[in-house]
């Protein structure tokens, strides 16, 4: 008899409402497909071997690619990750272990707020602490900005991953005679590892597409640069510069770069989620 008492109008209104919510969710998903489709259509024809293996040619010389930008992205994000991962994971462990007092509460709040600070402000920070003292733009200053951006994501992911491990794991280990340190590192941490790895990958994905702080840190370059203390090319920065240039051939390269960037970022997101899903399914 459920629903038998509904008036016709009430049932109709319910259906319209639910249809409206479906429409909204559908709109959001459709937007993604539209943007993806457009980028794929414009970019797919431009991605080829020279695009992936050559450095940019001067304006007017056909061909050329973004190989230096791809390598630059790897170097800049790599250095950022090397510093951000230990600091972030250890801070997350601290919050999970000693998280009840006033100070951890403040740290947590600062971390939450930091995750909402615009990347361009963090770029300015990197400029004042690394570019100004060194006297020139450099890849490491970009890595520094990326590190600051990654930290709150990693801290949060680590803390909530550790929190989600049942307390009995820790307690049993200690009851069997392990030290608190061993209980955390060898019992709790491995149990939380998939969720932490997901957080790390999401943090990396987050900065991989980031452009704003690079404008005055990595600065960009037309050449092969492997020295992290020199200005360096970066893929998303190249897309930005090419898109705003007046040359049609550079616009085409921007589309190809955008497609490449989207594929990389989506793959990172996909792997991150699979790491977690496999765990949940086991």
Partner 1 sequence: MAEIEATTERQKYPALVTEVEVRAAVAAKPRAADSLMARWFPLMVRGATGIFVLLIAGLFMELLLNSLPSIRQFGLSFLWTSEWNPVTERFGALAFIYGTVVSSLIALALAAWVGILGAAFLAEFAPRYIATPLGFVIELLAAVPSVVYGLWGLFSLAPAMQHYIEPALQRYLGFLPIFDGPAYGVGLITAALILAIMIVPTVIAISRDLLQTVPSEQREAMLALGATPWESFRMVVLPYARTGIFGACILALGRALGETIATTMVIGNRPAISMSLFAPSYTLSSVIANEFTEATTKLYLSALIELGLVLFLISVLVNSLARLLMRAVFGAVGRK
In the complex, minimum distance from the CB of residue 196 to partner 1, in angstroms, rounded to a whole number = 14
Size of the site for partner 1 (CB under 8 A): 111
Structure tokens at 78: 């790599």
> Looking at 50-58, 59-67, 69-77, 232-240, which segment touches partner 1 (CB under 8 A)?
232-240
CB-nearer residue toward partner 1: 55 or 169:
169
Among 40, 55, 197, 265, binds partner 1 (CB under 8 A): 265
In the complex, minimum distance from the CB of residue 61 to partner 1, in angstroms, rounded to a whole number = 23
> Looking at 45-53, 70-78, 185-193, 221-229, which segment touches partner 1 (CB under 8 A)?
185-193
Among candidates 212, 241, 204, which has minimal Cα distance to 142? 212
Among 47, 209, 230, 249, binds partner 1 (CB under 8 A): 209
- What are the backbone angles phi and psi of residue 232, rounded to the nearest 5°? -135, 150
- Contact call for residue 247 and partner 1 (CB under 8 A): no
> Looking at 53-61, 70-78, 113-121, 222-230, which segment touches partner 1 (CB under 8 A)?
113-121
SS (H, E, C) the chain: CCCCCCCHHHHHHHHHHHHHHHHHHHHHHHHHHHHHHHHHHHHHCCCCHHHHHCCCCCCCCCCCCCHHHHHHHHHHHHHHHHHHHHHHHHHHHHHHHCCCCHHHHHHHHHHHHHCCCCHHHHHHHHHHHHHHHHCCCCHHHHHHHHHHHHHHHHHHHHHHHHHCCCHHHHHHHHHCCCCHHHHHHHHHHHHHHHHHHHHHHHHHHHHHCCCHHHHHCCECCCCCCCCCCCCECCHHHHHHHHHHCCCHHHHHHHHHHHHHHHHHHHHHHHHHHHHHHHHHHC
- Contact call for residue 181 and partner 1 (CB under 8 A): yes
In the complex, minimum distance from the CB of residue 282 to partner 1, in angstroms, rounded to a whole number = 7
In the complex, minimum distance from the CB of residue 31 to partner 1, in angstroms, rounded to a whole number = 6
CB-nearer residue toward partner 1: 55 or 124:
124
In the complex, minimum distance from the CB of residue 15 to partner 1, in angstroms, rounded to a whole number = 8
- Contact call for residue 138 and partner 1 (CB under 8 A): no
Report the site for partner 1 in 155-174 (rule: CB under 8 A).
Answer: 155, 160, 163, 166, 168-169, 172-173
> Looking at 49-57, 60-68, 73-81, 248-256, which segment touches partner 1 (CB under 8 A)?
248-256
């Amino acid at each position: 008899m459920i629903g038998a008492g509904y008036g016709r109008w009430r049932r109709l209104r319910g259906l319209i409402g639910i249809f409206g919510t479906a429409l909204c969710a559908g709109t959001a998903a459709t937007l993604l497909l539209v943007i993806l489709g457009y980028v794929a259509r414009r970019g797919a024809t431009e991605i080829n071997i020279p695009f992936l293996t050559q450095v940019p040619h001067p304006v007017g010389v056909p061909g050329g690619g973004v190989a230096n930008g791809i390598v630059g992205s790897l170097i800049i994000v790599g250095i950022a990750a090397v510093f951000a991962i230990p600091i972030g994971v250890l801070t997350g462990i601290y919050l999970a272990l000693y998280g009840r007092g006033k100070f951890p509460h403040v740290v947590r709040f600062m971390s939450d707020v930091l995750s909402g600070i615009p990347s361009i402000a963090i770029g300015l920070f990197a400029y004042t602490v690394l570019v100004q003292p060194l006297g020139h733009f450099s890849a490491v200053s970009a890595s520094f900005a990326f590190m600051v951006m990654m930290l709150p994501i990693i801290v949060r992911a680590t803390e909530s991953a550790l929190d989600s491990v049942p307390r009995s794991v820790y307690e049993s280990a200690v009851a069997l005679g392990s030290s608190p340190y061993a209980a955390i590192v060898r019992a709790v941490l491995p149990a939380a590892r998939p969720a932490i790895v997901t957080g790390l990958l999401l943090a990396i994905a987050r900065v991989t597409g980031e452009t704003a702080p690079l404008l005055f840190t990595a600065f960009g370059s037309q050449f092969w640069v492997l020295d992290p203390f020199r200005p360096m090319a970066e893929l998303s920065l190249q897309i930005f510069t090419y898109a705003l240039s007046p040359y049609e051939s550079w616009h085409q390269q921007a589309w190809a770069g955008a497609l490449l960037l989207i594929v990389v970022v989506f793959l990172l997101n996909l792997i991150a989620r699979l790491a977690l899903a496999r765990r949940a399914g086991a």
